[in-house]
Amino acid sequence: MITGTQTLSTERRFDSVLDEIEKLLQTGNIPKGTTEEEYTTVVAACRENPHEVSDEEIARAIAAVTAATKTDILGALYQLTGRTAEDDFNQYFTPPNVADALHRVGETTRDYFETPEPTVENVSGQSALGMFAREETKSARTDGGQVDSHNTEATVLFDPACGSGRLLLAAARGTENAVCLGWDIERTAARMTALTLSLVGIPGWVIGGNALTMGIREIYRIGADDETTPQCFRSIRPEEAPEMPKTQGYNSDAKTDNTAFIPHEELSYPANNVDDCFTEIERVLRHGVDQTVVNPPFDKCDLNENAIGPLSLSRFDTAHRTVGDHDTKIKSSQRYEWLILENALSYTLPSGAVSLITPTSMLGNPTEKGERQWLMHQAYLDASIELPPATFAPETTTGTSIITFVPRQTDTEDLNVDYQIFMSIAEEVGQNKDGTRLSYTDDAGTITLDTESLPRYYRGHRWLGHDTITLPDDDLYAVLKNHRDMRKKEPA
């Protein structure tokens, strides 16, 4: 754990460690052949005399274990450090198993969800989300359609509130030719994401700024070539950043480059300047992303104070007093969850998926009836998985759910079609409300696993001398299998 010193606060010391990691990346001195030695030496030193361990040593250990295990070490350290810091960092990052589940449920949606075709039998006036609050809607249409993903060799993953980058990392680990686009309003969070993706070797762009207004304060660009040094463009003034597309496929009056855009090719060589980065990000958003994974802030957004940026918050349907009616006034506030979900749907392809974590109350709160009715005209709900209160313990026991959507095309937004929705409840996620690990037990007791047989994420356990670990009591893997089995068995 990182602690403060007489001259540096805990948060500033953490920033100092990030500075050292960035130096390692810029100079190409990331530990590779000596990763286990680098890690175990620093861990032993921290246990014996933590105040004698330098920021550079901590940085080398973090870089070594991140590159070797491809896990979010920075996010875990930041959250742990924040619990005892002078000022609580107030960051609750998604647990790794839930991050993995969020990607995998969306992956199944992308692979197997069949857009319902309207027939006499399945067109009705019953809202798909009505089961949460017994609501009805009266609109129905009988036109439909389907579009294909843009022709690239990459799968573009998007997180508009990326935090430490854990969701992007989990999604990219399980996706061939992944390219990431992350956005976060917090400087430290955006920087952690960029450094982790760089250490792991996942290409893409990470933007520091407000994703709701498409604000850009700094850009981190991670190349597709392992030998390419990550680039960072900082202190971007508001007037320097161009207006980004409002939606995927959006055509403004500005001259648009419609040539084929292949992210891996663009990222295979350095950008000449920040304008090159602007153009790349603009083209990614215009083409659309394949999957959005996001755990948005659970809070209200002041629509007046947070309106700074190239794009106005008034463009959101959910920002208006009558949801979807832009002739009505703007609300004084709206929940971040709704704004970020609308933002995600705007940039995700109809052939893709939006997977997010949301407060379970949002699915049935009577005051959010208008938002839910609007949502079911904008997207198909593929899956809803209720998580136990212990999911984000010990920081909070707020009830949460994973929900996954497929964006509708414009000509099907008013079409109300009956279709199957996967619904499940996960009773256990591997820990209790105190944050203590829960092990699975059967009649013979706990089940142990040999760490040598486990994926590379467990290398840190082996390095510290743990030959076995117990099987966690976690329902998510069974839930994900049931979801995939259901979608695969559906007739085409």
Domain boundaries, the chain: 96-150+289-431+477-489, 441-472
Residue 124, φ and ψ in degrees, nearest 5 = -145, 175
User: What was the pLDDT predicted at 121?
Assistant: 57
User: What was the pLDDT predicted at 153?
Assistant: 73
Q: How far apart are CA 45 and CA 57, in angstroms?
A: 10
Prior bond of 491 cis (ω within 30°): no
User: What was the pLDDT predicted at 160?
Assistant: 98
Question: Is 91 in contact with 56 (CB distance < 8 Å)?
Answer: no
User: What was the pLDDT predicted at 314?
Assistant: 92
User: What was the pLDDT predicted at 140?
Assistant: 34
Fold topology of 96-150+289-431+477-489: Rossmann fold (3.40.50)
Question: Is 384 in contact with 101 (CB distance < 8 Å)?
Answer: no
DSSP assignment of 40-83 equals HHHHHHHHH-GGG--HHHHHHHHHHHHHHH-S-HHHHHHHHHHH
pLDDT means per 10 residues, the chain with 492 residues, are 61 92 92 80 87 91 92 92 62 91 98 82 49 41 37 84 98 95 97 97 97 95 84 93 88 58 89 96 95 97 76 93 96 97 97 97 94 95 97 93 94 79 97 91 84 69 77 94 92 52
User: What was the pLDDT predicted at 418?
Assistant: 86
- Quick count: other Cβ atoms within 10 Å of Cβ 115? 17
User: What was the pLDDT predicted at 261?
Assistant: 78
The candidate with the shortest Cα–Cα distance to 248, out of 282, 209, 272, 274, is 282
Give whole-number Cα distances, 297 to 93, 340, 341, 375, in Å.
Answer: 10, 9, 11, 19
CA atoms within 13 A on the CB side of 203: 25
User: What was the pLDDT predicted at 120?
Assistant: 55
Q: How far apart are CA 346 and CA 212, in angstroms?
A: 11
User: What was the pLDDT predicted at 119?
Assistant: 63
Q: What is the pTM of this model?
A: 0.89
